[in-house]
Amino acid sequence: MLRQNLSQKLSQKLSPQQIQLMKLLQIPTAVLEQRIKEELEANPALEEGNDDLNKDVDLDVKDQSDDKDNNDEDYQTDDIDISDYLNEDDYNYSQSDGYNKKDDDDKTIPVAVSGTFHDHLNDQLGMVTLTDHERKVAEQLVGSIDDDGYIRRELEAIIDDLAFTQNVSSTEEELERMLKVVQKFEPAGVGARTLQECLLIQIKRKEGESDATKLAYIILKDHFEAFTKKHYEKLMRQLDIDEDQLKDAVAEILKLNPKPGGSMQQSRSENQYIIPDFTIKNNNGELEILLNSRNAPELRISDSFREMMAAYNRGAKKNKQEKDTIVFIKQKIDSAKWFIDAIVQRQHTLLATMQAIVGYQEEFFLTGDETKLRPMILKDIAEITNLDISTVSRVANSKYVQTEFGTIKLKYFFSESITTESGEEVSTREVKKILEGIVENENKSKPLSDQRLTEMLKEKGYNIARRTVAKYREQLNIPVARLRKEL
């Protein structure tokens, strides 16, 4: 049976302005300029530049009915209330407070311009003498190379691609022949199908340089599995060589690049500049926090929109078209004010959060010692700033701070805690730093097992389980003991 009844309930909904603020909090300084440009393009009431407080706009209410001759029929509705828009102070918005204005002269983001990895390969292909048919086959092979330099597709699949997409008929023997051509390109090892083939291509280019390179070639060609498993004693027995000879050969192998395409990818990524959102300066023991204003232009309400609002106020008779226009102007001015308010609120929230982090981790910012980092979670900063945990999370996301010890991601300062034998809470980052130091100073001929690492940490007062040590080791990209073994 259907019934109707009344009920009351409370629900929390975010206003469009709050949603806009949350989105602005998430983006870093490097992206803020583009977001502001998008808003400037979308809203004609918003413009760049400092507010000119000396600009006179006549906002006095005057009866000018005798001066206006309007033949349109009066629009018979209630007058639109624009009293809130007639105070000049409402237009004097600025988003500069709290920013570091020392860098105003430099508002450009440096961008590295370089060709792609495949462009580099195609340039080399253009210098090889081939028939039109061979060139199409070679171009298909180059296009099948992954970013790290390998061809992982089966040759049969590449033959099918040529037939279906370019109507080119080929054979596996022809692809093998063209692949040999591609494998002569730089960087050495490109076009390989396996790691073993990649290393063999590279070592073969300098096979005759020394006895060590000759031995390295034999190890990679005939004893690759034993080498990858670091069965060094077995290799010395099978090859009838001593430890010094094996050391020299292994040293040659370690010079090779297992990801030839990755070297170009890395060089390009190294040229991607990080724009820090904050700068921390140490002035004789006093930490100063500066919020980066680079790439964030000054914003204000457009003078033309202010003047249109004043002109409407001076007029006595308002027709429908004028009232529709003033509604549009009010909407755009409101949107501009909301956006500027959101920018101002963004910088205040960022500064408040960064001040809380610096206060919490003051010892680290003064010394740069990772072991001085205190365990800190989002809730700790949220309680200090009286902000929501989700707001602190948005601030910490994709933001960087420039310190005397380098540019560091904000998320770096957040870590869980563990309790030592003395009952003191320490950061997991401190434990990882100590673990890293133990592994770095171990005897590489007899690397420490996870169980032994756990025992050594317990001796230092850090009572953690072996599986936790294994997890920290993996997070630090430290391989297992067997793979850390050296001659």
Q: Please provide the distance, in angstroms rounded to a whole number, between the alpha carbons at the two ends of the chain.
A: 84
Q: Above pLDDT 70, what percent of the chain?
A: 78
Q: Which of 123-132, 203-212, 386-395 is least confident?
A: 203-212
Cα angle 11, 16, 19 (rounded to 5 degrees) comes to: 85
> Tokens for 175?
């692809």
Of 150-159, 318-327, 419-428, the one with minimum mean pLDDT is 419-428
Quick check: 196 pLDDT over 50?
yes
pLDDT tens readout for residues 107-124: 455 555 556 888 888 889
- Mean pLDDT over 472-486 rounds to 83
With contact defined as beta carbons under 8 Å apart, do 395 and 413 qualify?
no
**Amino acid 295: pLDDT:** 59
Reported confidence tier of residue 302, pLDDT bands at 50, 70, 90 = confident
Mean per-residue pLDDT over the chain, rounded? 78
150 vs 147: CA distance, rounded Å: 7
The fourth-level CATH superfamily of domain 417-487 is: Homeodomain-like (1.10.10.60)
Q: In 3-state terms, what secondary structure has residue 150?
A: strand
Which pLDDT belongs to residue 153?
87
* Mean per-residue pLDDT, 385-395: 88
The reported pLDDT for the residue numbered 473 is 87
Question: Per-residue confidence at 356, pLDDT binned at 50, 70, 90?
Answer: very high
Tell how strand 99-100 and strand 299-301 pair up. unpaired
Q: What is the pTM of this model?
A: 0.57
pLDDT (average), residues 30-38: 84
Whole-number Å distance between alpha carbons of 277 and 29: 6
Question: Pairing mode, if any, of strands 400-403 and 299-301?
Answer: unpaired
For 238-282, what is each residue's pLDDT tens digit? 888 888 888 888 888 888 888 888 766 554 544 557 788 889 998
85 has a pLDDT exceeding 60: no
pLDDT digits (tens, 9 = 90+) for 129-179: 889 898 998 899 988 898 888 998 898 899 888 888 888 888 889 999 999
Where along the chain do its domains lie? 15-50+80-111+273-415, 113-187, 189-256, 417-487
CB 353 within 8 A of CB 359: no
Report the sign of the C-alpha dihedral through residues 131, 133, 139, 144, in that order: negative
Q: How far is CA 416 from CA 145, 338, 366, 467, in A?
A: 42, 37, 22, 16
Residue 355 pLDDT class (50, 70, 90 cuts): very high
Contacts of 202 (CB under 8 A, 6+ apart): 188, 189, 256, 257, 260
pLDDT of the residue at 315: 63
Positive or negative, the CA dihedral 355, 361, 363, 367 is negative
β-strand pairing of 46-48 with 299-301: antiparallel
Cβ 297 vs Cβ 107: under 8 Å: yes
278 forms beta bridges with 291, 401
Query: What was the pLDDT predicted at 58?
Result: 39
Cα within 13 Å of Cα(254), Cβ side = 9
Closest CA to 370 of 428, 281, 436, 433: 433
